[in-house]
Structure formats: structure tokens, C-alpha cells
């Protein structure tokens, strides 16, 4: 899947690159788009908080939506669509990093924290919808409670808390609001910090054009399709034809479509795979970089350039006249070699790819006994991730295919290329040298391509200087930054480079040539014309997937019977004690000193299960045994069932037994009820009077 996944990503990137320059390609800025969405959610949510009332949740949101539509309604819609956008960007970012293989080894912490961030955002979104307390919130409450019914840590089924409006706790919305704010401010902030903690210079802001484009599109969406409430939550009616948000609520259709065991197996198994993905399968890890203390002068340039903060400066301990020395943090080291390219005195190196080995390879390539082709001898210093090597490089003689006079030395990252390597190649007889790295926004090691380019331009230490004792000039050096699927462009540029080298009379100062990035002057024009139209597609997805599709949890042509009870069954084993047996027990262990024999009973704590039969119009629709709760089966017995039924007049009969006598039932209920389509009828058990009854109906 690795190479195929990368090809999928690079192909999609290539299509996007045809619309606008890579600098403004939103696919390269998915992580920062998540951060921008989070900021929008925080700002808009802070305003909504001041008008939300836990005692009147629906009315307070209605006030914001309708009465204060010009500010509150707009900010509520922006809050909603920014949340949907966050989920979309998070999912795309996660999928992109997985397909590119950027989740193993030193990246495991970012992957795990990012996965936790995704789950936390789903929980926050569900809580946010719940706070509105409309029909959609009612559906969420009921389906969430049914999910929690399957978790044994709850003694009483949570669904019993949503039988009617009277059973809903007044503290519910206060707790939801507190959790919504707490997870947002504390949980999300902590996860974002952890997610970026191992990046030396984490990117939080995309280019201004992308940020402005996203804000414009979300604002336009908020005005054109404002977020509105469904009808007010009514526990006596089924939530039918409710707008459904697939970004956050996708889990609920799965609960209806799959059996319980399949849903929980899929959910738990998928979550475990998500969090353990960095350690699944085989992944080669290269030896970490090493510091040669005899050469280290403690300048700290390697510490500044390392994108993963894998090098720290510590006090000198070898007696040399320098204050600091570099130390590699092995667990964080990506073995990218960027620190090798940043060290002027060559005090850092990779054990399996030392500078000596690289220079030896250059000598062998440039001093072959037989020339492979005509024309200038060119040496390419190529990043392994910048192009698909097997498509353009001849493995036998390490030259470009169809260009035998162009030899290639590969590096893990173009940031590893030391200035001395370029100088050595020119001094060893190369007529020209080119450096090929990743696009700056898509560098596999984040900053290697940018640093190598800056060094060649003399903008970052160590810089390339003219060779001592030679007349070499750096018009013979070229720099390319390219997509892995644009190998043909690289070949074309090298062909042009060859033609330039043939014109020995042409003297030029060094300038980098970037094959796929147009001139800086065209960036703003292209971005202005392309960013907003491109974001129309995600805007359409956000509006469609969060408002239009409706999953049929309940049929509008059916009614629903909720059958539930809480009942303490009879104790399993009881025997009557004689007066002598009663007196033989310690006082605090005696059941009673009553003279009546029925009060002198020694009973087991274990209770009997309850067997229930429910018939509708002489047709049995429920026959089930419900067992007591508790480790010793000494707690109450609970039941909760939802039974769809056709509208009309029906004869309902309930029989329950909680004794060992299987020939008879201990409790009976029989009543003729008239059900309407979309109506919810709740049959509960009155433990005080030991009888079933219908909630909301008085006894005749």
C-alpha cells in the first residue's frame, strides 16, 4: 500500500498544482487549515456562550438564530460550518499522512495525538448538537443512551433518563456545557501542543490567501444556508426527517445498520488499529546521526536547522575551549541528515552514509575509464523523496536514463547536501552540478529542501563559497524543487542545463532554477483567481453532508412502544428461622426478633431474574429474561426495549414473573391503546405499587 498510496496522493497533488502554484495548494496546508478552523470555532463559540441558557437551551439558541440573526445567527452558522470544515480537514490530513507513510518511528507522537484530536473533536461536535435540544439533539440523546446501554459499567440503562421530559435531569445541559467548554479549552489545547511539540518550527498559519479564501467561503455559506434548529425536542414524538450531519454523527447509522457485536468489534478494533498503526507492520529505521566531538565547535547551527528538535546543545565536557557541544536525541532523530548539511566543520554525520563515502562515490562516477556519453559531465545530488528513482535513474551505472553523462548520487534529504560536496564535485571534474529536492511545502523532512536552497542562495549558514585556488563559478550549479510525478520536467530542465554548459563563454552568477514554481510575481494573481473557486467544492460538501441527507432511524409511518422497567426481584433462597436459630446469631446479624415467623427469614442476597412476555393483539413480540445487576446478582433488574408498531388501536398485554414458579406470572398489565404515526408510548413499572403503567396516562 505504501508506494501505491503515495502515487494516489502525488497524482491528486498534481491535478491541484495545475490550478495554482504549490505555495497556494490547500492540500499542502491541511494541518494549518485545521488550526484556522479551530480559531474560528473558539472565537464564535465564545460569543455564543454569553447567550446560552442551560435552563432554556432551545429558546436561547432560537433567540440567537432568529431574533439576533445579523450577529448571533451568523456566528452560530459560522461556528457550525467551521466545525464541519475542521472534521473534513482533519480526516483528509490524517488520510494523507497515512498514505504518504508519515506516521511511523519519530512521527508516532504526532500520529497518536492527531488521532486523539480527531476523536475529541467528534465528541465535542456531538455535545454541541446536543446542547441545542431540538429534534436532532433528541435523536443524539436517544442513540447515545442506547450505545451506553451496552456498557456494563452503567448499572441503570441510560436510556431510562430519556423516557419523557420529566425524566431528564435539569443538570444535564449544565454538565454538557461544562464538558463542551472544558474539552475545547483544555483537551484540544493540550492535544495541539502535544501534536506539534516535536516540531522545531510548527506551522500554524497557511498563506494569507488560503486563510482569507476559507473565511470568505464559510461566511458566504453562513449567509446563504444559515444553520437553523429542527423542531423542539419532544420525547413523546419520534424524531423524523431530522437534518443529519455526517461529519459528526456518522457513528449512529452504524449502530442501526450493524448488529451490536459487529458494531462494537468494528469500533473498538478500528480505534485500536488507528492508535497502534505506527507499530504495525515492518518499517526500516536508519541509524541516528552522530556527533564527532573532536570537530564540534558548539556553534548550534545543527540545533537551529533540525526540524524535529532532535539535537540539543549541552555544556562542554571534553575540555575543549568551547562553551557548548551538540548531542543527538536518538528517539527523536529522523536520520534525515539535515544536520550534516548544516555543519560547517563536518562535526555531524550519518553512520551508514558518511561524507567520506559520498565523496568516494563521486570520485568513482566522475573518473570512470570509459565515458558513458557525449556532452558535459553533470553530477546530480538528488533527494530520494523528490522523484521516483526507479523511473529516471539507471541502477547499473547510477546515471539518468537516456542521459549517461548525467551521474546521480542520492541523499535521504536535499538538506543533507553539504557545501563541501558541491565543491568536491566541481573540483573532481564535474562540468555541472544540480541539486534536486522536494517542493518546499511538501518536503518529506519538513525543512530540508528550504534549508538547502537557502544555503545555496547564501541566505543561511553554511553558504557555498568560491573554491580556493580555482576559477570555478557557481553558474555551473542548479537547484530544482519538484513533485515526484514531474520527473519529465526534471529531465527537460537538465537538458537545458547541458546546453548552457556547452556555451562556455557565457558567464552567469549562480541562480536557482525551480521547475514547477512560477515567478513570485504571479503568485498573488493566480491565488486570487483559484483559491476561492477551489474551496467551493469543500463548501458544497460541508453544506450537503451537514444538512441534506437524512438517515431513516425511524419510519414516519410507524409508532413506537418503549418498554422499560426497574424492579427488585425476589431473593433466590429463603428459609424460616426458628426462635432458637435466631437467638444463636449475633445481635447485629439477626434478621429480626419479631414473634411472627415470616419476619424471621434467612435469605440469600442473590435475586431471581425477571421473565417478561409482551403481546400486541395476541401476537407475541417480546419474550426475554432480564437478569439482576451487581457482581453477586443482588441488584435491581433493568429493561429497555424499543418496539416499532403500526399505528392504530392495539390490545397490549404484559406479563412478568420474578419467582421460581414457572406455571404462573406474578404481574399482569392489559390495556387497549390508540397509537398515532410518530407517537412514542412508554410502558414502565411502578415499583411502589408493583404494577405496569403508561407514562403520561392516568388510570381509568
Say yes or no: 65 and 182 in one domain. Answer: yes
Distance CA 406, CA 430 (A): 10
The verdict on residue 160 lying in a domain is yes
Centre a 10 Å sphere on the Cβ of residue 165 and count the other Cβ atoms it contains.
11
**49 and 133 share a domain?**
yes
DSSP 462: S
Pick from 540, 339, 336: nearest CA to 446: 336
The percent of residues in the chain predicted with pLDDT above 90, rounded, is: 55
Contact of 397 with 404, CB cutoff 8 Å: yes
Quick one: cell of 509? 552568477
Question: How many whole angstroms separate alpha carbon 635 and alpha carbon 605?
Answer: 9
- In-domain check, residue 403: yes
Q: Are residues 424 and 329 in the same domain?
A: no
Q: pLDDT tens digit string along 504-518?
A: 644 444 444 444 333
| Average model confidence (pLDDT) across the chain | 85
Residue 543 within a domain: no
* pLDDT reported for residue 578: 58
Is the pLDDT at 23 greater than 80? The verdict is no
pLDDT tens digits along 435-454: 999 887 888 999 999 999 88
Q: The domain spanning residue 404 has which CATH number?
A: 3.40.50
The 10s digit of each residue's pLDDT in 258-287 is 888 899 999 999 999 999 999 998 778 899
Judge whether 417 lies within some domain: yes
CA 348/CA 328 separation, integer angstroms = 10
**Domain match, 192 and 305 both:** no
Domain termination residue (choose one: 351, 383, 398): 351
Length of the chain: 700
The Cα 517–Cα 274 span in angstroms is 36
Residue 630's domain comprises 559-571+606-694
Query: Under DSSP, is residue 586 helix (H, G, I), strand (E, B) or coil?
Result: coil
Give the total number of structural domains in the chain. Answer: 4
Rounded Cα–Cα distance for residues 417 and 401 (Å): 23
Q: Are residues 176 and 258 in the same domain?
A: yes
**Tell me, what CATH number does 336's domain have?**
3.30.70.20
- Digit-coded pLDDT (tens) for 594-643: 444 444 555 667 888 999 999 999 899 999 999 998 887 888 899 999 99
Residues 248 and 218 in one domain: yes
What's the CA gap between 495 and 406, in Å, rounded? 10
Rounded to whole angstroms, the Cα distance separating 424 from 468 reads 11
* Residue 594, all three cell numbers: 419479631
Residue at 381 is within a domain = yes
Is this prediction's pTM over 0.85? yes
CATH number at residue 184: 1.20.810.10
User: Using 50, 70 and 90 to split pLDDT, how confident is the model at 373?
Assistant: low
Q: What is the mean pLDDT of residues 28-34?
A: 94
The reply to whether 600 falls in a domain is no
Last residue of a domain, one of 230, 245, 279: 279
Residues 44 and 73 reside in one and the same domain:
yes
Say whether both 441 and 319 belong to one domain.
no
How does residue 584 score in pLDDT terms, banded at 50, 70 and 90? low
Tell which wins on pLDDT, 211 or 521: 211
Pairing type for strands 637-645 and 559-567 reads: antiparallel
The DSSP secondary-structure symbol of 279 reads G
Does 478 fall in a domain?
Answer: yes
Listed in sequence order, the DSSP H helices in 418-522 are 419-427, 448-456, 487-502
Residues 22 and 130 in one domain: yes
343 plus 366 within the same structural domain: no
Does 228 lie in the same domain as 80? yes
- Give the CATH number for residue 681: 2.60.40
Q: What angle do CA 674, 675, 678 make, to 5 degrees?
A: 160
CA–CA separation, 608 vs 657, rounded Å? 9
What is the number of other CB atoms lying within 10 angstroms of the CB of residue 37?
A: 23
In a domain, 547, yes or no: no
The partner residues of 670 in beta bridges, in order of sequence, read: 653
Same domain? For 55 and 113 the reply is: yes
Residue-level pLDDT at 376: 87
Amino acid at each position: 500500500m505504501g508506494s501505491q498510496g503515495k502515487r494516489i496522493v502525488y497524482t491528486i497533488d498534481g491535478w491541484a498544482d495545475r490550478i495554482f502554484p504549490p505555495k497556494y495548494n490547500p492540500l499542502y496546508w491541511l494541518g494549518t487549515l485545521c488550526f484556522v478552523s479551530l480559531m474560528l470555532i473558539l472565537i464564535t463559540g465564545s460569543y455564543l456562550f454569553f447567550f446560552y441558557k442551560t435552563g432554556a437551551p432551545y429558546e436561547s439558541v432560537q433567540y440567537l438564530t432568529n431574533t439576533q440573526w445579523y450577529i448571533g445567527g451568523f456566528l452560530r452558522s459560522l461556528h457550525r460550518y467551521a466545525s464541519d470544515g475542521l472534521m473534513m480537514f482533519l480526516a483528509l490530513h490524517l488520510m494523507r499522512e497515512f498514505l504518504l507513510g508519515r506516521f511511523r518511528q519519530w512521527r508516532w507522537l504526532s500520529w497518536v495525538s492527531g488521532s486523539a484530536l480527531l476523536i475529541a473533536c467528534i465528541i465535542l461536535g456531538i455535545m454541541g448538537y446536543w446542547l441545542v435540544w431540538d429534534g436532532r439533539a433528541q435523536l443524539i440523546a436517544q442513540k447515545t443512551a442506547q450505545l451506553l446501554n451496552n456498557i456494563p459499567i452503567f448499572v441503570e440503562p441510560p436510556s431510562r433518563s430519556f423516557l419523557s421530559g420529566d425524566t431528564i435531569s435539569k443538570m444535564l445541559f449544565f454538565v454538557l456545557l461544562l464538558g463542551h467548554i472544558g474539552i475545547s479549552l483544555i483537551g484540544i489545547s493540550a492535544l495541539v501542543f502535544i501534536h506539534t511539540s516535536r516540531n522545531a518550527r510548527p506551522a500554524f498559519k497557511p498563506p494569507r490567501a488560503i486563510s482569507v479564501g476559507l473565511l470568505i467561503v464559510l461566511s458566504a455559506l453562513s449567509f446563504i444556508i444559515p444553520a437553523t434548529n429542527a423542531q423542539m425536542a419532544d420525547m413523546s414524538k419520534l424524531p423524523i426527517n431530522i437534518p443529519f450531519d455526517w461529519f459528526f454523527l456518522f457513528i449512529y447509522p452504524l449502530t442501526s445498520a450493524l448488529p451490536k457485536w459487529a458494531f462494537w468489534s468494528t469500533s473498538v478494533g478500528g480505534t485500536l488499529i488507528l492508535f497502534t498503526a505506527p507499530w504495525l507492520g515492518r518499517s526500516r529505521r536508519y541509524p541516528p546521526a552522530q556527533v564527532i566531538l573532536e570537530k564540534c565547535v558548539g556553534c548550534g547551527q545543527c540545533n537551529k536547522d533540525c526540524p524535529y528538535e532532535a539535537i540539543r546543545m549541552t555544556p562542554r565536557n571534553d575540555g575543549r575551549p568551547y562553551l557548548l557541544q551538540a548531542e543527538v536525541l536518538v528517539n527523536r532523530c529522523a536520520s534525515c541528515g539535515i544536520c550534516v548539511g548544516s555543519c560547517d566543520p563536518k562535526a555531524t554525520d550519518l553512520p551508514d552514509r558518511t561524507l567520506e563515502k559520498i565523496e568516494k562515490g563521486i570520485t568513482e562516477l566522475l573518473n570512470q575509464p570509459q565515458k558513458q556519453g557525449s556532452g558535459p559531465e553533470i553530477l546530480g545530488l538528488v533527494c530520494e523523496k523528490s522523484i521516483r528513482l526507479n523511473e529516471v535513474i539507471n541502477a547499473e551505472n547510477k546515471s539518468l536514463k537516456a542521459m549517461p553523462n548525467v551521474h546521480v548520487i542520492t541523499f535521504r534529504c536535499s538538506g543533507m547536501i553539504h557545501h563541501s560536496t558541491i565543491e568536491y564535485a566541481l573540483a573532481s571534474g564535474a562540468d555541472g552540478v544540480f541539486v534536486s529536492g522536494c517542493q518546499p511545502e511538501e518536503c518529506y523532512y519538513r525543512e530540508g529542501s528550504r534549508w538547502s536552497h537557502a544555503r545555496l542562495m547564501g541566505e543561511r549558514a553554511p553558504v557555498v563559497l568560491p573554491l580556493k585556488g580555482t576559477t570555478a563559478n557557481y553558474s555551473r550549479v542548479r537547484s530544482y524543487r519538484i513533485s515526484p510525478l514531474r520527473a519529465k520536467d526534471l529531465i527537460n530542465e537538465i537538458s537545458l542545463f547541458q546546453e548552457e554548459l556547452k556555451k562556455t563563454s557565457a558567464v552567469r552568477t549562480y541562480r536557482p532554477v525551480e521547475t514547477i514554481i512560477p515567478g513570485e510575481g504571479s503568485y498573488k494573481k493566480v491565488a486570487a483567481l483559484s483559491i476561492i473557486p477551489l474551496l467551493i467544492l469543500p463548501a458544497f460538501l460541508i453544506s450537503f453532508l451537514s444538512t441534506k441527507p437524512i438517515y431513516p432511524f425511524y419510519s414516519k409511518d410507524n409508532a413506537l412502544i418503549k418498554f422499560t422497567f426497574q424492579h427488585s426481584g425476589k431473593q433466590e433462597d429463603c428459609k424460616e428461622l426458628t426462635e432458637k436459630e435466631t437467638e444463636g446469631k449475633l445481635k447485629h446479624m439477626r434478621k429480626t426478633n419479631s414473634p411472627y415467623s415470616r419476619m424471621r427469614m434467612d435469605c440469600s442476597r442473590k435475586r431471581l431474574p425477571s421473565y417478561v412476555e409482551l403481546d400486541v393483539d395476541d401476537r407475541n413480540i417480546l419474550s426475554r429474561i432480564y437478569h439482576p445487576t451487581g457482581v453477586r446478582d443482588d441488584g435491581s433488574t433493568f429493561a429497555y426495549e424499543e418496539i416499532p408498531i403500526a399505528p392504530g388501536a392495539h390490545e397490549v398485554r404484559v406479563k412478568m414473573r420474578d419467582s421460581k414458579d414457572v406455571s404462573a406470572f406474578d404481574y399482569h398489565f392489559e390495556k387497549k391503546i390508540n397509537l398515532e404515526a410518530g407517537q412514542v408510548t412508554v410502558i414502565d413499572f411502578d415499583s411502589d405499587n408493583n404494577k405496569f403503567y403508561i407514562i403520561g396516562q392516568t388510570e381509568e
